[in-house]
């Protein structure tokens, strides 16, 4: 039986709190489970120790790298007993990059552990009786490689050449990615050629420390079903020197690119996009299809990063909604309308909202393209629109939420509690914030009916899930 994270609250110092460990100290550990970030979790005199790269059931010698009041971080010094599920990571820069956390583990084993990561979150952040909550086995991929339809790679100059990649874990070292094994091969190729073009034309590259230079980020998105490709150049300034030459080279060397956009972000920020987007060449949007539904995607519009698994995720959301054809549905955090349109044929009306105007424009176009006259999309937040609609006499039967990793806004939670829809379908990309939000809803009369994890990002520690909540008071 795996040990839960949840600890009983007490005012007295516990043994765990009083254990003293120091950086550099070595200790024997038996790894019990994976933590929410994919690290191995062991216990030293009841104190939690997180060890990146360690797997459940392994016996290791670990060296402390960081100490804290509630937990310790350590690294593997030696594996005394190796897990039968440990494999050799196929990616040549796996350890250096840090973008994936679980390539050293058999794929089916990662699915089991992701189910457990969801269970851990519920154990830690809710007062639910876990014997009465059914967390289903994780739905995985048949071929868990080259599945991401979008890359957002920071650009820099290194040794006189242009590189584009991700920052190594816990550092500001940029790792050049040329053939990422979880990115669609088209995004890999386009990014490689874009680096060559920028270098050949000697176009200025952004220097973060000096806050000078032009090209900050190369964003590439591909339609899995359509093959259409969009390139977005995120720049520090509005003007692009030799823009015509740049666009000519893109046409010549990358004929598969259908859309070239520029996004301007002149702020000192870690955020990728700025507020202004400019159309440079080709189409302003690209098209993607999920099943029989097509979607137009603009540069900043949110769209699920793994289209193959998205179909499975949305089918689970549809199953959770239990539609009979008469339900009124709110699609909060609707993006370009993907979930709502997936449910539209089983509902009497769909209403959605998003704070990004471009997404709402796309959502309206997507609904019109499919003849869904019963779909309405507005710019703004659910906590702004839901009370307005209720005041007008329109009350949803089902609310679907698909929030960012931070979870639902507190005002949205309270709005849902006030509106009291019969059913909530919570699509989550963060088990911890899911569990915290569910605990608030549970206290106000909502019962958890089912939790279905879905592996949207194989080889990473991330796990999405669809949770059904029914109002029972």
CA–CA distance, 109 with 38 (Å, rounded to integer): 12
Q: Counting every residue, how long is the chain?
A: 473
Distances (CA, A) of 254 to 193, 238, 263: 8, 23, 20
Residue 287 burial class via C-beta count within 10 angstroms: exposed 0-12, middle 13-18, buried 19 and up: middle
CA–CA distance, 288 with 248 (Å, rounded to integer): 26
Nearest to 264 by CA among 281, 292, 282, 239: 239
CA–CA distance, 246 with 285 (Å, rounded to integer): 20
Asked if 259 contacts 228 with a C-beta cutoff of 8 angstroms, the reply is: yes
Per annotation, catalytic residue among 97, 100, 180, 429:
429
Where helices occur in 355-454 by DSSP H, the ranges are 357-369, 382-391, 410-419, 431-442
CA–CA distance, 459 with 88 (Å, rounded to integer): 13
Asked if 146 contacts 457 with a C-beta cutoff of 8 angstroms, the reply is: no
CA–CA distance, 285 with 297 (Å, rounded to integer): 5
Active site residue 91: no
Q: 471 pairs with which residues across the strands?
A: 446
DSSP letter for 6, please: -
Helices (H) and strands (E) in the chain, counts: 11, 22
Strands 257-264 and 276-282: antiparallel
Query: Which residue has tokens 């690290």?
Result: 39
Angle, vertex CA 107, rays to CA 147 and CA 321, nearest 5:
65
CA–CA distance, 200 with 194 (Å, rounded to integer): 10
Residues taking part in catalysis: 429
């Amino acid at each position: 039986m795996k040990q839960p994270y949840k600890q009983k609250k007490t005012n007295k110092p516990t043994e765990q709190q009083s254990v003293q460990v120091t950086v550099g100290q070595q200790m024997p550990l038996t790894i019990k489970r994976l933590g929410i970030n994919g690290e191995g979790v062991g216990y030293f005199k009841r104190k939690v120790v997180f060890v990146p790269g360690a797997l459940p059931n392994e016996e290791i010698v670990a060296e402390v790298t960081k100490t804290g009041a509630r937990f310790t971080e350590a690294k593997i010094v030696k594996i005394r007993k190796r897990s039968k599920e440990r494999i050799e990571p196929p990616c040549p820069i796996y350890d250096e990059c840090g973008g994936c956390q679980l390539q050293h583990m058999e794929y089916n084993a990662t699915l089991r552990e992701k189910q457990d990561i969801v269970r851990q979150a519920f154990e830690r952040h809710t007062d639910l009786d876990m014997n009465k909550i059914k967390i289903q086995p994780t739905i995985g991929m048949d071929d868990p490689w080259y599945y991401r339809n979008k890359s957002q790679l920071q650009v820099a100059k290194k040794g006189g050449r242009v590189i584009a990649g991700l920052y190594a874990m816990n550092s500001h070292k940029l790792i050049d990615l040329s053939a990422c094994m979880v990115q669609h091969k088209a995004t890999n190729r386009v990014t490689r050629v874009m680096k060559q073009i920028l270098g050949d034309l000697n176009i200025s590259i952004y220097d973060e420390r000096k806050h000078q230079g032009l090209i900050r980020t190369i964003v590439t998105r591909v339609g899995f079903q359509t093959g259409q490709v969009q390139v977005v150049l995120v720049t520090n300034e509005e003007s692009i020197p030799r823009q015509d030459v740049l666009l000519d080279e893109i046409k010549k060397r990358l004929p598969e690119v259908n859309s070239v956009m520029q996004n301007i972000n002149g702020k000192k920020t870690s955020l990728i996009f700025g507020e202004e987007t400019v159309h440079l060449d080709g189409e302003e949007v690209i098209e993607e299809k999920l099943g029989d539904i097509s979607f137009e995607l603009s540069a900043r519009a949110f769209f699920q990063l793994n289209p193959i698994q998205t179909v499975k995720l949305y089918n689970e959301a549809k199953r959770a909604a239990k539609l009979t054809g008469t339900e009124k549905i709110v699609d909060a955090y609707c993006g370009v309308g993907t979930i709502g349109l997936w449910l539209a044929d089983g509902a009497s009306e769909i209403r959605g909202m998003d704070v990004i105007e471009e997404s709402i424009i796309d959502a309206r176009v997507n609904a019109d393209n499919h003849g869904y006259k019963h779909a309405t999309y507005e710019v703004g937040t659910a906590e702004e629109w839901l009370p307005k609609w209720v005041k007008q006499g329109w009350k949803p039967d089902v609310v679907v939420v698909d929030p960012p990793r931070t979870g639902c806004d507190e005002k949205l939670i309270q709005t849902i509690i006030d509106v009291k829809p019969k059913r909530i379908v919570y699509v989550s990309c963060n088990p911890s914030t899911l569990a915290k939000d569910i605990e608030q809803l549970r206290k106000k009369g909502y019962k958890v009916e089912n939790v279905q994890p879905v592996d949207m990002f194989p080889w990473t520690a991330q796990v999405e899930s669809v949770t059904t909540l029914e109002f029972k008071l």
